[in-house]
Chains A and B, each alone.
Chain A
Amino acid sequence: MSGLAGGGPLIDVHVHFQHAASGRADWREDNARRLEIGKRIGITLHIASILGSWGKTSPTYFPSPDDVTAGNAAMRAIAAEHPGLIGAYTTVNPNFTRHALSEIAAGAAHGQLGIKLAASRRASDPLLDPIGEVAAKHGLPVLQHIWQHRRGEVPGQEISDALDLIALAKRHPAVAFILAHIGGGGDWSHSLRALENVPNVYVDLSGSGVDRGMLERSVAAVGPARLLWGTDLTMDTGLAKLRALAVLGMSADDLAAIRWKNAVRIFRLTTITDRP
């Protein structure tokens, strides 16, 4: 069956799910809706995370260790219910180094695909180095929440931008870092210019932003081999970007790289389905 975005594999690298402890009474319906929309679009693999309690018992971007553990356990349970369709990131709060490393170790026992860093500690901070080291050891990509060109502090987050992530990426050249949601707010042109010559940072195309010119600049700045498709909160914008990419004049191989092949490579996926 072919989805609205065409047939073949399609991997969404930026997905979130809800869980019972997140305080939304409709969390099951919310998760089911995402999967149903994903099926209509044609998504064949959702790589997802849960950020603690989503603010119910500790802040979304500064989740407590207990909430991190509960969120990761819930995420693994959701993935286990949908083998082959959902993969899990392990979310960590780097301010609690020992706990972060233990969560990643727990994730390893359950086939985690990557590590999710929210906005608990600036990406350039040395406190993130132990996480970079363990990511390199296990071959795990790291998805870092990003504000494109931060101009100061932001309430509720210790926000990072491309320059902060680049500082971390240069200290850990063996790790694939994913700059989150280029369309997620802020000046995307600043991020793309900064990333031109940083080979181990990938750009995730998710986010509600659908500025004309953003996709062309992304392709020109980092090339199709460092672009990953994703949705985050807004799946309609993800579909729109796929359709816009398809008319940019790229080769079929380049489009496939963005839709799924780059993700297969950096997440070291061994099996991939081509049907949602």
Chain B
Amino acid sequence: MTTPDARRTTHLVDHNALVGPYPFRSLPDPTPARLLADMDRLGIEQAWTGHVPSAWYRDCAAGNDELFLGLGAHRKRLLPVPCVNPAFPGWEREIARAKTEQAPAIRTYPAHFGFSAAGSAMAELTAACAESGLELALTMRFEDGRQKSRLDNAPDLIGADVRAAIRSHPKVRLLVTNADRAIVEEVHWGSAPDESARIRYDISWIWGAPEDHLGHLQRTVGPDHFVFGTHFPFRLPENAIAKLDLLP
């Protein structure tokens, strides 16, 4: 994890960025161009970039087409993180394509796609990720539950989903995005050391000062478990920077 002072001289990588519109509210300019402009303004060098609409597409491979096309000439800074639905035919092709496109990770959305994190589809996906060297990103939530649309019926993921996923393959690596302190602690202290060693969390949903959940978790869970993340285009990217600036 980056220290506040080191932040300005260290290679800052946003591990939780997305592009594309959201079905339930207008997101201002959720484009690669705007993401890059905000990164330039805030000193962020690279972003692992997913695609918002893919979580709502029945065939998320079409969303990956849009993602790869949209990132276009910006691939040095915007690393694609395509989506895979292991409950949909042909998902193995998306794993292969992720490798070809040099993606560092893939995203999946069990609640949106209707498969269990403890079931066979997740097990097959985690095995494929482990074999392919791809980190698997699980998104705990897109928005605060208090403001979700009535039509947004996919529940937030819970700690049990993450624990089931990490246990489904001994070599899978997870990137858990938009987790708060309670989820991080539940998963970390509810996992064996060889399991928790394979889980990283982005900081976008963890409270900063003065409650300072981020500082607390760095001390208790360990700094190596946390990566920089903004949850662009949903949240102000300034917030992730502010958390680092206000660390003790």
A residues contacting B by CB (< 8 A) are 4, 30, 33-34, 37, 40-41, 147-149, 185-189, 208-213, 215-216, 233-237, 239-241, 243-244, 247
Contact = CB atoms under 8 A, between A and B. Distances in A.
B209 A37 contact: yes
A222 B243 CA distance: 29
Given A34-B210, A236-B242, A210 B235 contact: yes
Given A33-B212, A239-B246, 6 more contacts: A33-B209, A148-B147, A212-B234, A216-B28, A237-B242, A240-B238
B144 A236 contact: no
A210 B144 CA distance: 10
Contacts of A236: 207-209, 239, 242-243, 246
22 contacts: A4-B242, A30-B210, A34-B210, A40-B246, A185-B146, A209-B147, A211-B234, A212-B27, A212-B232, A212-B233, A212-B234, A213-B25, A235-B210, A235-B246, A236-B209, A236-B246, A239-B238, A239-B245, A240-B236, A240-B239, A240-B241, A247-B41
Nearest to B214: A236
Contact of A212 (B28, B41, B212): B28
Interface residues of B, number: 27
Interface of B: 25-28, 41, 143-144, 146-147, 207-212, 232-236, 238-239, 241-243, 245-246
A241 B236 CA distance: 8
Contacts, number: 86
Looking at chain B's contact residues, is the secondary structure mostly helix, strand, loop, or mixed?
loop
A215 B212 CA distance: 24
A210 B210 contact: no
Contacts of B26: 213
Contacts of B233: 212
A213 B28 contact: yes
Contacts of B210: 30, 33-34, 37, 235
Nearest to A214: B236
A258 to B, nearest CB: 15
Contacts of A34: 210
Tell which of A208, A215, A233 has the most Cβ of chain B within 10 Å: A208
A4 B245 contact: yes
A236 B143 CA distance: 18
A268 B27 CA distance: 37
